[in-house]
Structure 1
């Protein structure tokens, strides 16, 4: 079975959820990628797609605004709460 044929058996929502899972920053990669603007924006855009497909436009808009914030450098990662404490 070709890859295209296999994808035809998956719903659009399932594809978006798989993309969101793929682009989500894992706990193991958090410190390395928490300030990576491309990674953070990609993560938020994928989440927005899932919310759009679930007919939750306000949640999608919030994720898209976060993605834009990462790209235009208007937001940045907060410090890790477990570091810097005595």
Structure 2
């Protein structure tokens, strides 16, 4: 059974979308992708350990730097993305929550 939410005219829509995207430079598209994938302050706690989200954000940032001919900035971001995907890195604890609940004693 066909999904009623999918248009039967999807090839025309794809063609129209491609025409719109061709109006933009690759750098502009990469910057838009980075803005879309960037983890906002409001989503930080929810997504800080989401490996796909963190890797995507880093890859998009690397692409922006690569298109700006700044490969020295792109490389560490690609390495971080790999670290998220291969699980060799993980999110550090939140600095604003690390000492909550501990009582500081003065001696």
Instruction: Tell me the number of residue pairs that the alignment of Structure 1 and Structure 2 aligns.
Output: 85
Distance in 2 (alpha carbons) for counterparts of 1:71 and 1:30:
18
SS in 2 for 1:4: helix
Q: Which is higher, the Rg of structure 1 or of structure 2?
A: 2
For 1:30-49, list aligned pairs within 5 A.
Answer: 30-49=44-63
Structure ranking higher on relative contact order (CA contacts 8 Å, 6+ apart): 1
The yes-or-no answer on 1:56 pairing with 2:56 is no
Distance in 1 (alpha carbons) for counterparts of 2:31 and 2:64:
6
Q: Which structure dedicates a bigger proportion of its chain to helix? A: 1
Which residue pairs with 2:18 in the alignment? 4
In structure 1, runs of 5+ residues without a counterpart are none
The yes-or-no answer on 1:73 pairing with 2:101 is no
Shift of 1:3: 1.9
In structure 2, runs of 5+ residues without a counterpart are 1-15, 101-107
Which consecutive segments of 4 or more residues in structure 1 shift more than 4 A?
Answer: none
Normalization by structure 1: what TM-score? Answer: 0.94
Shift of 1:5: 1.7
